A = this chain, B = another copy of it.
Amino acid sequence: MTVSKTAEKSSGKSADPAKGRKDATEVQSEALQLGELSEQLGYVLKRAQLKVFENFLRCMASLQLTPAQFSVLLLVEKNPGRNQTEIASTLGILRPNFVAMLDNLESRDLCARIRSTNDRRSHILVLTDKGKAVLARAKKLVATKHEARLNELLGQANREALLAMLSKIASEF
């Protein structure tokens, strides 16, 4: 909501921004003060999330998997035989929006919809062999490029503490 994906350099329109000013009302034309914004958890959380997703996409460029697609593959692998409603709702994806997502994954032969014999309204979801292979490669990329970078930045212990706090917020806030 607050933040977009592109950063932009600040201008600094005058030739010598450090020199004398015309009058006292003119502010110094350099970086703005974030002020209380840098203490707003929501603001920092959003900016951090965008950075993490951006990095995830870069790490996954060769496999063309978005964070959402990766989460679907992971969940289907862990819970084979569940239907669309169960997978979607666990991920917080609304069923209507899940249809196009699955169409995409299925068209790439990463997962398959199988009509359930128990309840012929349901589509059971499973990973294809290719889906399993791609997911295995994706996990490796995430571990060696994405998570490794985070561990490097924060340290293993801090990364785990961060995850624990975010989980608490996600489940209890």
Contact = CB atoms under 8 A, between A and B. Distances in A.
This protein's copies in its complex:
2
A170 interface: yes
Interface of A: 1-11, 13, 22, 25-27, 32-53, 55-56, 66-68, 70-71, 74-75, 77-79, 81-82, 85-87, 89-94, 97, 118-119, 139, 142, 146-147, 149-150, 153-154, 158-159, 161-163, 165-170, 172-173
Given A41-B163, A67-B46, A86 B10 contact: yes
Contacts of A79: 27, 32-33, 35
Contacts of A13: 119
A34 to B, nearest CB: 7
Contacts of A77: 35
Most buried by B among A41, A42, A47, A93: A42
Contact of A3 (B35, B92, B163): B92
Nearest to A39: B163
B163 A162 contact: no
Contact of A147 (B41, B53, B89): B41
A132 B35 CA distance: 15
